[in-house]
Amino acid sequence: MSELTDLYQEVVLDHGKRPRNFGPLEGATHRAEGLNPLCGDRITVFAKLEDGALREARFEGSGCAISKASASVMTGAVKGKTPAEIDALFDRFHRLVTEGPAPGDEEALGKLAVFSGVHDYPTRVKCASLAWHALRAALAGQGVPVSTE
């Protein structure tokens, strides 16, 4: 367990400091802003949907290391997936951060599985989920900002 916790801290520090897929996305078909007032996280997610699958996702904004790391890993993990697959992935991810790891998580979630570390810090669940809420709102075509509150 401590190994996973170390990996979690490593990923959060690395992706929080040097987020991947950071910046505007040219030719984005969908976008939505996510706000987490409790922590002050504010993230805009851009998505390019083509032939029913997500070709690319990027994000910008500011927030704590966990919210940025989660957005950074998420934008890589959802590439090539359909909105239905992204919903299923989020369900599993959300269960992981709220209830803790379950069998099969590592195969299903890949790098996202390190966020099981969030499970020990309930106040961080919203930070870790923010980019997901924004992405799903973007894909659902809701133009209004989403808030975790």
Mask for 10-49, x = binds Zn ion (CB under 5 A): -----------------------------x-x--------
Burial (CB < 10 A; 0-12, 13-18, 19+), residue 66, is: buried
Residue 59: how many other CB atoms lie within 10 Å: 29
Question: Is residue 131 involved in binding Zn ion (CB under 5 A)?
Answer: no
Written as one letter, the residue type at 27 is G
Q: Among residues 15, 45, 61, 67, which is the contact residue for Zn ion, using CB under 5 A?
A: 67
Question: Is residue 125 involved in binding Zn ion (CB under 5 A)?
Answer: no
DSSP code at position 57:
E
Q: Among residues 25, 86, 89, 127, which is the contact residue for Zn ion, using CB under 5 A?
A: 127
Is the separation of the CB atoms in 104 and 96 below 8 Å?
A: no
DSSP code at position 81:
-
Q: State the minimum distance, in angstroms, from the CB of residue 80 to Zn ion.
A: 28
Question: Is residue 64 involved in binding Zn ion (CB under 5 A)?
Answer: yes
The residues that touch Zn ion, with contacts defined as CB under 5 A, are 39, 41, 64, 67, 127
